[in-house]
Amino acid sequence: MNFLWPQSLWLLPALPLLPLLYLWLLRRRGKPALRYSNLNLVREAASRPWRRHVPAALLLLACALLALALARPTATVTLPWARTTVMLAMDVSRSMRVTDVKPSRMEAAQDAAKMFLRELPRNIDVGLVTFAGSTQVAQRATLDREALASAIDAFQMQIGTAVGNAIVMCLAELFPEHGIDLEGMTFGPRTRLGTAAGSRDAQLGGPEKPAKPAPLQITPVAPGSFDAAAIILLTDGRRTVGIDTLQAARMAADRGVRIYVVGLGTPDGHAAMDESMAIYLKLDEPTLREVARLTGGEYHHAGTAEMLRTVYQDLGSRLQVQTRETELTGAMALAAALLVVVAAGLSLVWFGRVG
């Protein structure tokens, strides 16, 4: 349990003084029988002397709860998560053919993703984005698990790793109303005629394209606060082309979307490749961890196929529930009020008076 106003807890050390005050008041009153209005109540009280202390004990407990309520206590609770969409962003760069993860990184990733689909609740839409040097939507968000499995089986490996583009494309699928321009972010703003300023068509005077509307200006929200969707990003390397990864992560954070990052591969996984490609096969773990941190997600490393399956199983479980910090002030204040009412009621029933 945590407290939003812990400075108010100074009242708790004063609580032991209340029983002493109670005992002092009992002695000052003298014989309690003289205060009863009914001789039957006197005999009843004498036969069960413990009763006279019950209302006082309940009031003492009520005071303790009120002291805690003043400090605004909070607790972490686990609730079902009404998530509706999960976007899988999967690396299909050529380095995924490396066999340090058996039978290969690609096959291990495909098997783990299909297992994830089988275990995920059927009421959650899943979309699939693949990325290498280019990025594409392999399957729009759907409940059709067979269509998703077929899209996973059809992966084609390419050169390059555009991690940032994959994140932005997932966001474009989740928020079509935001008008996210992936092409414009990748190649630069469009010219007056609608052609990207840095593209080959613009340089050579190629065909014109209609200019896209300006992206919607959004009001940033707290990272991880958008409960309706999440992104699971799997990669085995580092960004080599495209949008900066952390820029894309900040876009997700501004929309409250969590990114759960899975880093795949072993430290010596580049041994099977040409030395010229070795640098690109090393996981950029600092950046991937920062992506998870910025968005309120998590980073997981998987060095074997079994570890990868375990990671996806864990993520599948996490995406079905959520933990929230809930304030308990109202509940404690209500409990204290009920104790006061019960104490007054017992005192009235047993002794014919309140107090």
Listed in sequence order, the residues at least 6 apart from 128 whose beta carbon sits closer than 8 Å to its beta carbon are 87, 88, 90, 137, 138, 139, 148, 151, 152
* Position 324 confidence tier, pLDDT thresholds 50, 70, 90: low
Judge whether 295 and 113 are in contact, CB under 8 Å: no
Q: Which residue has the higher pLDDT, 202 or 329?
A: 329
How far is 92 from 90, CA to CA, in rounded Å? Answer: 6
- Residue 3, CA distances (Å) to 74, 75, 255, 316 in order: 6, 9, 28, 31
- Residue 290, CA distances (Å) to 107, 247, 250, 295, 344 in order: 27, 11, 10, 9, 57
How far is 89 from 128, CA to CA, in rounded Å? Answer: 6
Tokens of residue 35, six digits: 């205060």
Q: Is the pLDDT of residue 308 over 80?
A: yes
Report the relative pairing of strands 85-91 and 125-131 from DSSP bridges: parallel
Q: Is the pLDDT of residue 22 over 70?
A: no
Q: What are the structural domain ranges in the chain?
A: 15-73+328-351, 79-180+225-321, 182-214
pLDDT at residue number 3: 76
Question: What is the CB neighbour count within 10 angstroms for residue 92?
Answer: 24
Q: How many CA atoms lie within 13 A of 214 on its CB side?
A: 4
Listed in sequence order, the residues at least 6 apart from 63 whose beta carbon sits closer than 8 Å to its beta carbon are 15, 18, 336
Tokens of residue 214, six digits: 């300006």
pLDDT (tens digit per residue) in 50-98: 666 777 788 888 888 888 888 888 887 666 666 689 999 999 999 898 8
pTM of the shown model? 0.66
How far is 231 from 279, CA to CA, in rounded Å? Answer: 26
pLDDT (tens digit per residue) in 221-253: 999 989 889 999 999 888 889 999 999 999 999
198: phi then psi, degrees, rounded to nearest 5: -95, 5
For the domain spanning 79-180+225-321, the CATH number is 3.40.50.410
- Residue 45, CA distances (Å) to 20, 39, 127, 351, 354 in order: 22, 10, 72, 8, 15
Tokens of residue 300, six digits: 């997981």
pLDDT (tens digit per residue) in 124-153: 899 999 999 999 999 999 999 999 999 999
- State the Rg of the chain over Cα: 32
Letter for the amino acid at 159?
I
Q: Which residue has the higher pLDDT, 341 or 33?
A: 341
pLDDT (tens digit per residue) in 160-209: 999 999 999 999 999 999 989 888 887 766 554 455 555 555 444 555 55
Report the relative pairing of strands 258-264 and 229-235 from DSSP bridges: parallel
Letter for the amino acid at 13?
P
Judge whether 38 and 352 are in contact, CB under 8 Å: yes
How far is 94 from 35, CA to CA, in rounded Å? Answer: 91
